[in-house]
Structure 1
């Protein structure tokens, strides 16, 4: 697979965390009519800690960037 160097995308998009990313994506989907405006965002899985409690944010940022590039 060919893609941009990971260093170009880390720390830009996903360092804000999965909670904010999920919320922003849901709001975008609602505004574009992809999901009904009355639909609420489902709760985060209990096994996933809140982003602000994650001890390894930098590593998670890299993981999310690599996964998104797939």
Structure 2
């Protein structure tokens, strides 16, 4: 995460917003302490890393398997 002081962030605000739109997270500091963070509106998730792969492949099964039937609680005590 990049860090900028309030003064730097103020003078470069448009450029920082462009970086945030591209997915960057930016911390804004005052007197050495983070007072704000600029983050993308839609946070990235791990699945985003594989999205292109999934779109290109028709043979990938993304269905979750059915849950196994519940076991009888009484049989677990034996």
TM-score normalised by L of structure 1: 0.25
Higher-Rg structure is 2
Whose helix proportion is higher, 1 or 2? 1
Whose strand proportion is higher, 1 or 2? 2
TM-score normalised by L of structure 2: 0.24
